[in-house]
Structure 1
Amino acid sequence: MAYSEEERSRQEQQQVQGQYEPGTSLAKKDLFDLEADGGGSSRGQNARQKADWGTILKLAFQCIGIVYGDLGTSPLYVLPGVFPEGIKDKEDILGVLSLIIYSIIIITLIKYVFIVLAANDNGDGGTFALYSLICRHAKVSLIPNQQAEDKEVSTYKLDLPNRRTKMASAVKSSIESSHVIKYFILFTTMLGVSMVIGDGILTPCISVLSAVGGIREAVPSLSQDVVMWISVVILISLFQVQRFGTDKVGYTFAPVLVLWFALIAFIGIFNFFKYDPGVIKAINPWYIVKYFVKNKKDAWISLGGVILCLTGSEALFADLGHFNIRSVQLSSCAVLVPSVLLAYIGQCSYLRKNTKDVTEAFFRSIPKSMYWPQFVLAVLAAIIASQSLISASFSIIQQCVALGSFPRIKVVHTSAEHEGQVYVPEINTLLMLACVGVTLGFKNTLTIGNAYGIAVTCVFVITSSFLVLIMIMIWKTNIIVIIIYILTIGLIEVIFLSSTLYKFIDGGYLPLLFALIMVSIMFIWNYGYRKKYMYELEHKIAVETLTDIVSDERIHRLNGLGLFYSQLVHGVSPIFTHYVSSVPALHKVLVFVSIKSLPISKVPSEERFLFQRVKSGELIFRCIVRYGYKDSTKDQESFQEMLGNQLKEFIREDIKGEDMQRELELVDNALRDGVVYLMGEGEVMAANGSTWIKKLTVDYLYNWLSRCVRQPDEVFLIPRKHLLKVGMTFDV
């Protein structure tokens, strides 16, 4: 269908104002300059269909093996962390048990299982999923690459009206108009990601050390150094098997953890009836009040140990992409929470009669006849607990790389069936070295627990902060409900955070130091990436200039298809004019290719390519290739074939008659003659007059990172023998 210039102008204006319905044709809009408003509705629905109960039960079983290892092994080390100097009064045990019970119910069950899981990004979870969800409903991204057509992608879900309430509209406007808020949200996202990766370092250390330490119950002569070295060997072995992929490593773990949960629940019930059934009084939250009134500051400090019972709660959300909400909710309510609570109740019942055993509470409370089976299971469960956060770290880094917030490193997709399962060799090596270093440096779980608590509580607070923003801006939640959430769950998490920060000197500095390093790398890369993009955007080639260039008779036209790669979405990169001045030759069919990451998890393959003709009658096109942050870049032959097919489909829709047949034949001939990849290689340098901080960041740190990581042609698997590069310096 043809549109007049007046009609096209009207549609574009309505689209910017949020009035135009995205279901109608937008094929004629100018992709060079038009940006879309973050709101509006979409015909897209969640791509994940509701599963039947058979599938849900299967996924719920797999959840146990992939997600719950960290939460399930927390009884190994929580109570020793709460009472590092021993139990002074048996009544304190009831207060601590009550704290543990209500912490698990409020944070793990209510917050994560029943609230946070609803804030998923088309079925995917984690800090970056929250960030991408916010970016989709407001112009929060610091790189202006939004396009109206992106909302046509079926997984680009925007269900709610943009300005249903004044509060949502006011918050959205405030965010979009403030660069400070945009930077703060990006920095907070990076901090949350860094803390989750910090969990990926500390979880293996504390879990394996706690489990292996149990052998001293059977062999008291073993020193802590021997336990430490055994743990190091296990950790190194664990990271060596990561290359085989989550699919092979993780799915065999579910039966082990099912048995683990069954045994800790059984032992908890056994100890409850054998030692002191009176601990059931801890269900009364008044014991928490009595505990704080009696112990005051010491009770507040002990919260740094209590928080360890919640480690792994974030994994319920971060690993959601492998499962679905119902499966996580079912397995959490039926297996995880009851088993863990029974384990803590049993331990506290045992400690009421054996207060001196608190440093080895878990293994001392095991019946002698069950010691060795439980010890073996503990070691296996500790390894599994480590696996869940290691896999989550790989997925998070993949998201960061795709959205331009982390240097380009190798991401290996380990499963042909599950694209979300990835292995990142460089991060695996980094995590292994860090885990070994922490284990050798701290040697015991008490100091590691202090570090662990800060990482966990920081992620909790960041997730809650984003969740409140989503409640206001996207869900349009009643203000009273939001206030209740802040004054209950939010306040509890802030109190936990204050307690863990008190132990900053005693190991708590470790995750903050690691986060500082990670955030610095991410921010430097993102800063250089944005400066380069903005330079290209500000100096982009206008359509008229591009038309003049390709019409110049002095430019020699070559047989074949030329693909000119650029990260610029709006317009053509100034590198193109630099290329033409150096090599005055262009292919008869020329496509300007821009690789774009959308703030969604996946883009359907049939919606990946977005074409526009640059000049009527000429075989020169613009092509935006859209990926979600969990999409894998396919091999180049497959990509080339898909691009060729989509280009021909665009020609069939764009023109008719003899002209269509002629152009299709020319495209087929060009594909047979061969594809040449043209790519700009721009070096970013700080402009004259820049501050020394900017020069240090851009000239040295960003460029050093650029040289150390994979180059764009490696990322997109472009064959070197068909690649032509042209260099250019960007003064930013």
Structure 2
Amino acid sequence: MDPQPAKHDTPDANVVMAVHDADHTIINNRQKDTGRWGTLVLAYKTLGVVFGGLVTSPLYVYPSMPLKSPTKDDYLGIYSIMFWTLTLIGGVKYASIALKADDQGEGGTFALYSLLCRNINIGILSSKSANLNPSNSYVNQSRKPSRLGKFFERSLISRRVLLFIAMLGMCMLIGDGILTPAISVLSAMDGIRARFPSVSKSLVEALSAIIIIVIFLLQKFGTSRVSFVFSPIMGAWTLTTPLVGIYSIIKYYPSIFKAISPHYIVHFFLRNGKQGWICLGGTIMCITGSEAMFADLGHFNRSSIRIAFFCTIYPSLVLTYAGQTAYLIRNPSDQADGFYKFIPSAVYWPMFVIATLAAIVASQSLISATFSVIKQSVVLDYFPRVKVVHTSSSNEGEVYSPEVNYILMILCVAVILIFGDGQDIGNAFGVVVSMVMLITTILLTLVMIIIWRTPLALVALYFVVFFVMESVYVSAICTKIPEGGWIPFAISLILAFIMFGWFYGRQRKLEYELTHKIDLERFRTLLTDPGVQRVPGICFFYTNIQDGLTPILGHYIKNMRSLHKVTVFTTLRYLLVPKVAPDERIVVSKLGLKGVYRCVIRYGYSDKLSLEGDDLVNQVIESLRSHVLHCSNHNSVEVEDETSELEEAKLAGVVHIRGKTRFHIGKHSGWFDRTMLAFYEFLHSNCRSALPALGVPLPQRIEVGMLYEA
């Protein structure tokens, strides 16, 4: 939130301007240039964190493409499709272009939306109050917005659609966190049936469910304790599978690489028609995990991800798929088990163990990414508050949410037991992959036009190639919606509706508070009432606005007839930037009345909420002391009086006051407001309080109820 102050000479306006100026000095504490060897080390580490879903895709791609009586030319056409999909989408779109579109080191669909928010005014409220949206704190005013940017600023509907698209992309990634463990572990465990056909399918599903449950139960311990084995496992996988692929190429079909020629794709579709188009629903999964390569940009630098992709992942997948295809050309009936059948008997069980471990690592990486996405959404008020625990003292990005973890576990096990057929889960997985890619293409195109100001010819080339390519994939996979593809749509739409409803309700509350705020003059009038007493102690009065005071304050004073001698109006400000430097975390100011101060505590969406309980009180008081010393004009008596007053207030007791507000939905409200605000009230009544996140003791909390008229 970055309101425009009405007057620059008032104390309250000064603190707003101070916060606004300080906002533009935020230094991102992202990893700096680590040098050549440091980058190579990071590139090795990315194998175990970033590429889990991508490198395990050979386990389930071919079984997801049922072909009727496939021929040699069919397999050559399929391999050509996978090769160019990997090359264009994985290599060109993500590794070469998307990685440049980071939001101060963070990647993913939400980072793209954040980048747009920081350059144009695209809040979801009406244009008269759009500048009050928290997401616009970092709007770049250094140059005029483009025509497209102006269109989004003027159109409320387009802003809502864009927000919903960004949220849908995030929700699809969460759906990926459900489906990746299911399909990866289930596909790996299917190796038992490939070797022992007498083993029942139900037993494989049960074993897969047990492994999934164990993975989720271990989440509370964090990944740092086992992460040292992640990269060796994925390194072994990316080394052994292409070696097996080379063996199969030599043994079964040495000329397989002639399929790189795109004319095999044309002949494949001419020969198979609709059936070939439907097969795209399986080939799309060869690129699954590419979005994680972009989303995990915040954990590694751009160079390390590119080195890992182009030097290990890409050649490994190209050779592995070539080997599988060469085997299937000579054994076309083995497509239903296209991975384990092409493994030589001498190395079958070692490869089974490596495949199972790789599936576990792939599951872990997507689950961790889901926790990170949920945390970012919560701190930016895009998602109802859930408990977020930091499981590592050295890695702030390593988080765990108990509620989210157990919901994911239940859904993941349900997917395995109810839709145990790998074909159905593969259909659902394909929907997630294709939709997230398409959403990224749309947002990245907007970034090119609005922020990068890329020449329109290049933008058109990018958009036409990737939008058309991914739209064809989406159209193909949508035919699988009745066969399991509806699962991620249902999950994602529910999550997106929850996120949109929560964010809309929070914004409407903010709009009400800004239009009914208490200015400094009215506050002074309230305090001069003879019946209002200044009681001992220090009060942290939480408010969502900075330019003015929350209307809850007037409600509180009129009913309680008192105010603490030291009152600090505190705003927790979550910014659309990844990190806020620790020395810029707290901004304080005097409000021109004795014992009354303003405090803004700022966090980026990748920051750890490190101020808790007494630590919060001590740091704020220390900041107030420093501010008093800085603004005292060398008046030692005044400094001593104010600092002693702060210390006495702290000793007298600390209380934290927050509003417990609800909407009163009137008869004149439209159907959209009635629906969304009623849904928001349901969410708000069932989520966690904001103050427990700060570790405020229960005896120090006070909630003041008030109705806001919608």
TM-score of the alignment, normalized to the shorter chain, above 0.5: yes
Are residue 381 (structure 1) and residue 358 (structure 2) matched? yes
Q: CA deviation at 1:585?
A: 1.6
Q: Matched residues in 2 for 1:707 and 1:43: separation?
A: 37
**1:662 and 2:641 aligned:** yes
The Cα shift of 1:330 comes to 0.9
Instruction: Write the mapping of 1:62-101 to structure 2, written as runs, cut at 5 A.
Output: 62-82=45-65, 84-101=66-83
Q: Does 2:143 match 1:162?
A: yes
How much does 1:109 deviate?
1.3
**1:57 and 2:35 matched:** no
The residue identity in structure 1 corresponding to 2:662 is E
**Alignment partner, residue 659 of structure 2:** 680
| 2-structure distance, mates of 1:597, 1:44 | 13
Alignment counterpart, residue 125 of structure 1, candidates 101, 107, 110: 107
1:630 aligned to which of 594, 606, 611:
606
CA distance in structure 1 between the aligned counterparts of 2:572 and 2:453, rounded to whole angstroms: 34
Query: Contact conserved, 1:122 with 1:157, CA < 8 A, in 2?
Result: no
Residue in structure 2 matching 1:413, options 380, 384, 390: 390
Letter in 2 for 1:379: T
CA contact (8 A) 1:448 1:507 kept: yes
Match of 1:540 in 2: 517
Superposed CA deviations along residues 216-257 of structure 1, whole A, max 9, x for unmatched, are 122110111111111111111111111111222434211111
Give the counterpart of 1:277 among 249, 254, 260: 254
Pair 27,693 (structure 1): closer, same or farther in 2 beyond 3 Å: closer
Equivalent residue number for residue 5 of structure 1: none
Deviation at 1:724, TM superposition (A): 2.1
Question: Which of 716, 724, 729 pairs up with 2:694?
Answer: 716
After TM superposition, give the deviation of residue 100 of structure 1 in Å: 0.5
Assess if the C-alpha contact under 8 Å between 1:410 and 1:424 holds in 2.
yes
Shift of 1:191: 0.7
| Distance of 1:726 and 1:585 partners within structure 2 | 14
* Among 462, 471, 481, the residue aligned to 2:439: 462
For 1:268 and 1:397, how far apart are their aligned partners in 2? 38
The one of 324, 329, 348 equivalent to 1:352 is 329
Which residue does the alignment assign to 1:171?
148
Inter-partner Cα distance in structure 1 for 2:702 and 2:480: 56
Within 5 A, what are the aligned runs for 1:16-415? 29-31=13-15, 46-48=28-30, 49-82=32-65, 84-142=66-124, 161-163=142-144, 168-415=145-392
Task: Supply the distance in 1 between the matched residues of 2:449 and 2:255 (Cα, whole angstroms).
Answer: 44
Matched-pair contact (CA < 8 Å) for 2:6–2:13: no
Residues 188 and 355 in structure 2, CA contact (< 8 A), matched pair in contact too: yes
> Residue type matched to 2:596 in 1?
I
Contact map agreement 2:656 2:700 (CA 8 A) in 1: yes
For residues 109 and 524 of structure 1, the distance between their equivalents in structure 2, rounded to whole angstroms, comes to 37
The unaligned stretches of length 5 or more in structure 1 are: 1-10, 16-24
CA apart distance, 1:626: 1.3
Residues 458-477 of structure 1 show CA distances to partners (whole Å, capped at 9, x for unaligned) of: 11111111111111111111
Offset, 1:687: 2.1
Structure 1 residue 14 displacement after superposition:
13
State the one-letter code of the partner of 2:208: S
Query: What is the aligned partner in structure 2 of residue 491 from structure 1?
Result: 468
1:619 Cα shift?
A: 2.3
Query: Aligned letter for 1:641?
Result: N
What is the alpha-carbon distance in structure 1 between the residues aligned to residue 600 and residue 530 of structure 2? 28
Is the 2:103–2:577 Cα contact (8 Å) retained in structure 1? yes
Give the paired residue count.
700
Assess, with a 3 A threshold, how the Cα gap between structure 1 residues 51 and 147 changes in structure 2: closer, same or farther.
farther
Q: Distance in 2 between matches of 1:628 and 1:46?
A: 9
Write the deviation string for residues 472-493 of structure 1: whole angstroms up to 9, x where unpaired: 1111111111011012122211
Compute the displacement of 1:209 (Å): 1.0
Alignment gaps of 5+ in structure 2: none
Q: Which residue of 2 aligns with 1:702?
A: 680
Partner residue in 2 for 1:509: 486
Conserved in 1, the CA contact under 8 Å of 2:171 and 2:496? yes
1:82-139 C-alpha deviation (Å, 9 max, x unpaired): 2x14442111111110111110011011111111111111111122111111111111
Determine the C-alpha separation between the residues in 2 that align with 1:43 and 1:598.
13
Coordinate RMSD, CA, aligned = 2.6
Mapped pair 1:519 → 2:496:
yes
Which sits farther off after the overlay, 343-352 or 52-61? 52-61
Greater mean alpha carbon deviation, residues 550-559 or residues 169-178: 550-559
Residues 99 and 306 of structure 1 are in contact (CA less than 8 Å); yes or no, is this contact kept in structure 2? yes
TM-score (ref. length: structure 2): 0.94
In 2, the alpha carbon distance for the partners of 1:425 and 1:54 equals 37
Shift in CA distance, 631/76, structure 1 to aligned 2, threshold 3 Å? same
For 1:689, the aligned partner's letter is H
Deviations 1:271-325 (A, max 9, x none): 1111111111012112111111222222211111110101111000111211111
Alpha carbons 1:36, 1:148 under 8 Å: kept: no
CA-CA distance at 1:683 after TM superposition = 2.0
> Which is further off, 364-373 or 398-407?
398-407
1:50-97 deviation line (CA, Å, top 9, x unaligned): 222232122211110111111111001111212x14442111111110
How far does residue 32 in structure 1 lie from its aligned partner after superposition? Answer: 6.0
Residue identity opposite 1:583 in structure 2: M
Distance in 2 (CA, whole Å) between partners of 1:640 and 1:406 is 27
Amino acid at match of 1:280: F
Seen in structure 2, the aligned counterparts of structure 1 residues 320 and 678 have a Cα distance that, compared at 3 Å, is same
CA–CA distance in structure 1, aligned partners of residues 440 and 227 of structure 2: 26
Q: Provide the C-alpha distance between the structure 1 equivalents of 2:590 and 2:324, rounded to a whole number of angstroms.
A: 70
Match of residue 453 from structure 2: 476
**Contact 1:162/1:169, CA 8 A, preserved across alignment:** no
CA 145–569 in structure 1, closer or farther in 2 if over 3 Å, else same: farther
* TM-score, structure 1 normalization: 0.91
Aligned residue type for 1:187: F
Q: Partner of 1:642 in structure 2?
A: 619
> Residue 246 of structure 1 aligns to a residue in which SS?
coil
Distance 1:58 1:564 in 2: 47
Q: Distance in 2 between matches of 1:44 and 1:639?
A: 21
How far 1:331 moved relative to its partner? 0.8
- What is the CA–CA distance in structure 2 between the aligned matches of 1:525 and 1:250, rounded to whole Å? 35
